[in-house]
A = this chain, B = another copy of it.
Amino acid sequence: MGTKKVDTEIRREQIALAALSLVEKQGLQAVTVTRVARLVGLVPSALYRHFKGKDQIIDAVLDLIEEQMITNLAEIDNPADDPVAVLRNLLMRQVQMVLQYQAIPHFLFSEEVFNGRPKRKKKFFNLISTFLNGVASIIRRGQEQGNIRQDRDAKSLATLFIGLFHPAFFLWHLSDGQFDLTRQINLTWESFVDAVVRCDRSEIQTLGWKETHRD
Protein backbone atom coordinates (compact mmCIF):
# COMPACT_ATOMS: atom_id res chain seq x y z
CA MET A 1 0.00 0.00 0.00
CA GLY A 2 1.19 3.45 -0.84
CA THR A 3 2.46 4.89 2.41
CA LYS A 4 3.86 8.35 2.06
CA LYS A 5 7.61 8.52 2.17
CA VAL A 6 9.00 10.41 5.11
CA ASP A 7 12.49 11.57 5.81
CA THR A 8 14.47 9.14 7.90
CA GLU A 9 15.17 11.66 10.61
CA ILE A 10 11.49 12.21 11.23
CA ARG A 11 10.78 8.51 10.99
CA ARG A 12 13.39 7.78 13.61
CA GLU A 13 11.67 10.10 16.00
CA GLN A 14 8.24 8.70 15.21
CA ILE A 15 9.53 5.22 15.81
CA ALA A 16 11.16 6.09 19.11
CA LEU A 17 8.03 7.85 20.29
CA ALA A 18 5.87 4.93 19.25
CA ALA A 19 8.09 2.58 21.22
CA LEU A 20 7.95 4.91 24.19
CA SER A 21 4.18 5.00 24.15
CA LEU A 22 4.05 1.23 23.93
CA VAL A 23 6.24 0.96 26.99
CA GLU A 24 4.00 3.39 28.80
CA LYS A 25 0.79 1.57 28.11
CA GLN A 26 1.82 -2.06 28.10
CA GLY A 27 5.34 -2.41 29.35
CA LEU A 28 8.55 -3.29 27.69
CA GLN A 29 7.60 -6.70 26.38
CA ALA A 30 4.95 -5.00 24.33
CA VAL A 31 7.66 -3.36 22.29
CA THR A 32 7.92 -5.62 19.28
CA VAL A 33 9.06 -4.57 15.87
CA THR A 34 5.67 -5.46 14.52
CA ARG A 35 3.71 -3.40 17.01
CA VAL A 36 5.96 -0.37 16.75
CA ALA A 37 5.68 -0.52 12.99
CA ARG A 38 1.91 -0.75 13.09
CA LEU A 39 1.77 2.25 15.41
CA VAL A 40 3.86 4.31 13.01
CA GLY A 41 1.79 3.08 10.10
CA LEU A 42 4.51 1.04 8.50
CA VAL A 43 5.30 -2.56 7.87
CA PRO A 44 7.78 -4.28 10.20
CA SER A 45 10.57 -4.55 7.71
CA ALA A 46 10.36 -0.85 7.02
CA LEU A 47 11.84 -0.05 10.41
CA TYR A 48 15.10 -1.51 9.21
CA ARG A 49 15.44 1.40 6.83
CA HIS A 50 15.83 3.65 9.85
CA PHE A 51 17.31 1.46 12.55
CA LYS A 52 19.75 -1.36 12.29
CA GLY A 53 17.67 -3.45 14.62
CA LYS A 54 15.37 -3.50 17.57
CA ASP A 55 18.19 -2.78 19.99
CA GLN A 56 18.83 0.56 18.44
CA ILE A 57 15.19 1.45 18.78
CA ILE A 58 15.41 0.78 22.50
CA ASP A 59 18.55 2.89 22.61
CA ALA A 60 16.69 5.71 20.96
CA VAL A 61 14.00 5.53 23.63
CA LEU A 62 16.64 5.64 26.33
CA ASP A 63 18.06 8.70 24.66
CA LEU A 64 14.69 10.39 24.89
CA ILE A 65 14.57 9.73 28.60
CA GLU A 66 18.14 10.81 29.10
CA GLU A 67 17.41 14.07 27.37
CA GLN A 68 14.46 14.70 29.66
CA MET A 69 16.43 14.04 32.82
CA ILE A 70 19.37 16.18 31.81
CA THR A 71 17.05 18.98 30.81
CA ASN A 72 15.25 18.77 34.13
CA LEU A 73 18.47 19.13 35.99
CA ALA A 74 19.87 21.91 33.86
CA GLU A 75 16.78 24.09 33.76
CA ILE A 76 16.42 24.05 37.48
CA ASP A 77 19.86 24.54 38.84
CA ASN A 78 19.94 28.29 39.18
CA PRO A 79 22.81 29.23 41.52
CA ALA A 80 20.93 32.33 42.62
CA ASP A 81 18.13 30.37 44.27
CA ASP A 82 18.05 28.84 47.71
CA PRO A 83 19.51 25.33 47.25
CA VAL A 84 16.81 23.75 49.39
CA ALA A 85 14.17 25.33 47.22
CA VAL A 86 16.01 24.10 44.15
CA LEU A 87 15.91 20.57 45.49
CA ARG A 88 12.25 20.86 46.27
CA ASN A 89 11.67 22.10 42.78
CA LEU A 90 13.69 19.27 41.28
CA LEU A 91 11.75 16.74 43.28
CA MET A 92 8.49 18.06 41.95
CA ARG A 93 9.85 18.03 38.44
CA GLN A 94 10.80 14.42 38.78
CA VAL A 95 7.32 13.54 39.93
CA GLN A 96 5.81 15.48 37.11
CA MET A 97 8.11 13.84 34.61
CA VAL A 98 7.22 10.38 35.81
CA LEU A 99 3.53 11.14 35.75
CA GLN A 100 3.92 12.36 32.20
CA TYR A 101 6.22 9.65 30.93
CA GLN A 102 5.18 6.55 32.75
CA ALA A 103 7.62 4.70 30.61
CA ILE A 104 10.46 5.88 32.78
CA PRO A 105 9.82 3.72 35.79
CA HIS A 106 9.15 0.88 33.41
CA PHE A 107 12.67 1.29 32.20
CA LEU A 108 14.10 2.03 35.59
CA PHE A 109 12.62 -1.08 37.08
CA SER A 110 13.21 -3.24 34.08
CA GLU A 111 16.20 -5.40 33.67
CA GLU A 112 15.79 -6.87 30.25
CA VAL A 113 16.81 -3.49 28.96
CA PHE A 114 20.23 -3.80 30.50
CA ASN A 115 20.96 -7.44 30.88
CA GLY A 116 23.59 -8.75 28.55
CA ARG A 117 24.16 -5.21 27.29
CA PRO A 118 27.02 -3.89 29.38
CA LYS A 119 27.46 -0.89 27.17
CA ARG A 120 23.92 0.27 27.53
CA LYS A 121 23.97 -0.49 31.22
CA LYS A 122 27.09 1.55 31.67
CA LYS A 123 25.67 4.43 29.73
CA PHE A 124 22.59 4.46 31.87
CA PHE A 125 24.66 4.20 35.03
CA ASN A 126 26.56 7.22 33.88
CA LEU A 127 23.33 9.08 33.37
CA ILE A 128 22.23 8.31 36.90
CA SER A 129 25.65 9.29 38.17
CA THR A 130 25.42 12.60 36.37
CA PHE A 131 22.08 13.21 37.97
CA LEU A 132 23.45 12.23 41.37
CA ASN A 133 26.41 14.56 40.96
CA GLY A 134 24.11 17.35 39.94
CA VAL A 135 22.10 16.90 43.10
CA ALA A 136 25.27 16.65 45.16
CA SER A 137 26.56 19.92 43.79
CA ILE A 138 23.32 21.67 44.68
CA ILE A 139 23.65 20.27 48.17
CA ARG A 140 27.26 21.34 48.40
CA ARG A 141 26.25 24.86 47.52
CA GLY A 142 23.67 24.70 50.29
CA GLN A 143 26.33 23.58 52.69
CA GLU A 144 28.58 26.43 51.72
CA GLN A 145 25.78 28.91 52.17
CA GLY A 146 24.92 27.35 55.50
CA ASN A 147 21.40 26.30 54.52
CA ILE A 148 22.30 22.64 54.71
CA ARG A 149 24.13 20.97 57.55
CA GLN A 150 27.81 20.53 56.88
CA ASP A 151 28.59 17.44 58.91
CA ARG A 152 27.25 15.10 56.26
CA ASP A 153 28.73 14.04 52.96
CA ALA A 154 27.01 15.85 50.09
CA LYS A 155 26.97 12.76 47.94
CA SER A 156 25.31 10.59 50.52
CA LEU A 157 22.71 13.26 51.08
CA ALA A 158 22.15 13.14 47.35
CA THR A 159 21.53 9.41 47.60
CA LEU A 160 19.07 10.11 50.38
CA PHE A 161 17.37 12.58 48.08
CA ILE A 162 16.99 9.93 45.41
CA GLY A 163 15.47 7.78 48.14
CA LEU A 164 12.64 10.27 48.39
CA PHE A 165 11.12 9.36 45.08
CA HIS A 166 12.66 6.07 44.08
CA PRO A 167 10.65 3.83 46.42
CA ALA A 168 7.60 6.00 45.92
CA PHE A 169 7.81 5.45 42.18
CA PHE A 170 8.26 1.78 42.74
CA LEU A 171 5.21 1.50 44.96
CA TRP A 172 3.21 3.64 42.64
CA HIS A 173 4.26 1.52 39.73
CA LEU A 174 3.49 -1.69 41.56
CA SER A 175 0.10 -0.53 42.77
CA ASP A 176 -1.00 0.61 39.30
CA GLY A 177 -1.43 4.17 40.45
CA GLN A 178 -3.25 3.36 43.67
CA PHE A 179 -0.38 4.63 45.77
CA ASP A 180 -0.72 8.37 46.30
CA LEU A 181 2.54 9.51 44.80
CA THR A 182 2.33 13.25 45.35
CA ARG A 183 1.17 12.94 48.93
CA GLN A 184 3.89 10.49 49.87
CA ILE A 185 6.57 12.58 48.28
CA ASN A 186 5.40 15.63 50.15
CA LEU A 187 5.56 13.75 53.42
CA THR A 188 8.97 12.25 52.86
CA TRP A 189 10.22 15.62 51.70
CA GLU A 190 9.43 17.04 55.11
CA SER A 191 11.48 14.32 56.72
CA PHE A 192 14.27 15.01 54.31
CA VAL A 193 14.26 18.61 55.40
CA ASP A 194 14.36 17.46 59.01
CA ALA A 195 17.45 15.44 58.23
CA VAL A 196 19.25 17.91 56.07
CA VAL A 197 18.45 21.38 57.19
CA ARG A 198 19.80 22.58 60.50
CA CYS A 199 17.63 21.70 63.47
CA ASP A 200 16.61 25.19 64.45
CA ARG A 201 17.25 27.98 62.01
CA SER A 202 16.67 30.81 64.45
CA GLU A 203 19.14 29.59 67.04
CA ILE A 204 22.16 28.41 65.13
CA GLN A 205 23.19 30.54 62.22
CA THR A 206 26.41 29.58 60.58
CA LEU A 207 27.59 26.51 62.40
CA GLY A 208 26.70 22.95 61.54
CA TRP A 209 26.21 20.88 64.60
CA LYS A 210 29.12 18.55 64.54
CA GLU A 211 28.36 15.62 66.81
CA THR A 212 26.23 17.31 69.45
CA HIS A 213 23.05 15.53 68.50
CA ARG A 214 24.37 12.00 68.87
CA ASP A 215 25.53 10.09 71.89
Instruction: Name the B residues within 8 Å of A1 (CB-CB).
Output: none
- Interface set, chain A 117-158, CB cutoff 8 A to B: 118, 121, 124-125, 128, 149, 152-153, 156-157
Q: Is A75 an interface residue (CB 8 A)?
A: no
Instruction: Name the B residues within 8 Å of A193 (CB-CB).
Output: 214
Instruction: Name the B residues within 8 Å of A121 (CB-CB).
Output: 174, 176
Q: Chain A residues in contact with chain B, CB under 8 A?
A: 26-30, 106, 108-112, 114-116, 118, 121, 124-125, 128, 149, 152-153, 156-157, 159-160, 162-164, 166-168, 170-171, 174-176, 184, 187-188, 190-196, 199-201, 212-215
Instruction: Name the B residues within 8 Å of A215 (CB-CB).
Output: 201
Whether A116 lies near B27 (C-beta < 8 A) is yes
Copies of the polypeptide in the assembly: 2
How long is the Cα–Cα vector from A83 to B26 in the complex, in angstroms?
Answer: 41
**Within the complex, what minimum Cβ distance (angstroms) separates A113 from chain B?**
10
The residue from B115, B174, B176, B184 contacting A159, defined by CB atoms under 8 A apart: B184
The residue from B125, B190, B196, B212 contacting A152, defined by CB atoms under 8 A apart: B190
The residue from B174, B201, B213 contacting A124, defined by CB atoms under 8 A apart: B174
**Within the complex, what minimum Cβ distance (angstroms) separates A58 from chain B?**
14
**Within the complex, what minimum Cβ distance (angstroms) separates A63 from chain B?**
17
